[in-house]
Amino acid sequence: MDSIADYDKLTRISITFTTIGDVLSRFMAFANYTTPYFLQDRASEFYRELSMVVTSSIQRRYWKLYINSKFMFFNSSDNWSTNKTQRLLLDVRKRSRVVIITANADVVRIFMISAHKLGMTSGDYIFITIELYYSAVWGRYTWKYNDSNDELVRKAFRPLQVLCLQPLPTAEITNFWQSVKSISKKKYNYSLGHAELVDPVISHFYDAVILYATVVKEMAAAGLNYSSGGDFGDFTTNYTFRSPVNGPVSFNNDSDRLWYYIIRSFDSVDGRFEDFLGFPPVIDRVDILGDISDDWPKGLPPNEPFCGFDGLNPICRAKLGLTKGQYAVAIILPLLVVLSILFSFGYVLKRLDVLI
């Protein structure tokens, strides 16, 4: 994969996957998690790219977290079933308490059904997936599919967290969507629903035009050469301008657009995801948006995996495949060895007494 250093003059006005890796890493630091398990779907080009960029971002910026993480690829288009997800989750159960799934909502639903059947949805594990905004690409993160699994999924979604973008409320955004709704009704007799929005990426094209015009104006006023791609790129590093549609737009050191991310937690009573944690751009802090005691009555799951960091927890080993006969042998055989040693030692002492 190319390094971002190869594109040091590139300004990315829309959403980038690199910042997702940053937010996930900030969450791990906030919750003191050190061994997350990444389940990454390779069934579509979109999720392959997402997984690759997130992994690369963590590797480049958070090396210690990267080397302690587990990255497992799967292909949901390969006759996917709950049996296959259960096999993956059995390995997760031995290694981590934190599961990040980069896949479509339909695939995540199957994982959560399997997790529930394996007893992993009662608060001992936390699952995180991604839905940056409403789009068919991400799918529908809802428990209600009007099928036989609805009530099971409503329970299974309890430990599921969804990472998404939270547009900051500005007058520009409010006015823009009101205009869209008004024009849609007047010209096309179509009423937009509350959650029905135009894909935000479309508005970013408009932002790109405004960015270019604003930078050219400011560089010209400062006597700088705006026709130079290198100078133009340098000018937009850590740059901020105001979009007539999206309000303030800022960039980081890599000239990537900054966003406010939130993690939403599922409320099984109301049956919907609600704001739980907020991750402001630039500022290295986490905003508590919900009540942790309500979302996690026992607190967030511990960092140590079920089987321990070394995988040698005896309880875990017993639960992960030993038959009753094997378990009996595992206990009795060491006892027989100890008794044999003691008997031999006693025999040697008696022989010494005879010789003396």
Q: Is the pLDDT of residue 294 over 50?
A: yes
Confidence of residue 215 (pLDDT cuts 50, 70, 90): very high
Confidence of residue 166 (pLDDT cuts 50, 70, 90): confident
Residues facing residue 287 across a β-bridge = 278
Distance CA 20, CA 18 (A): 5
Please give the backbone phi and psi of residue 100, each rounded to the nearest 5 degrees, phi first: -105, 120
Going by pLDDT thresholds of 50, 70 and 90, the confidence category of residue 217 is: very high
CB 92 within 8 A of CB 37: yes
Comparing C-alpha atoms, which of 317, 305, 343 is closest to residue 96? 305
The reported pLDDT for the residue numbered 318 is 55
Which CB contacts under 8 angstroms, 24+ apart, belong to 63-70? 64/34, 65/25, 65/28, 65/34, 65/36, 68/34, 68/35, 69/35, 69/36, 69/37, 69/38, 70/35, 70/36, 70/37, 70/38, 70/95, 70/96
Task: Give the pLDDT score at 2.
Answer: 53
Task: Say what the pTM is.
Answer: 0.79
Share of the chain above pLDDT 90, in %: 47
Q: Which contacts qualify for 144-147: CB closer than 8 Å, 24 or more apart?
A: 144/271, 145/109
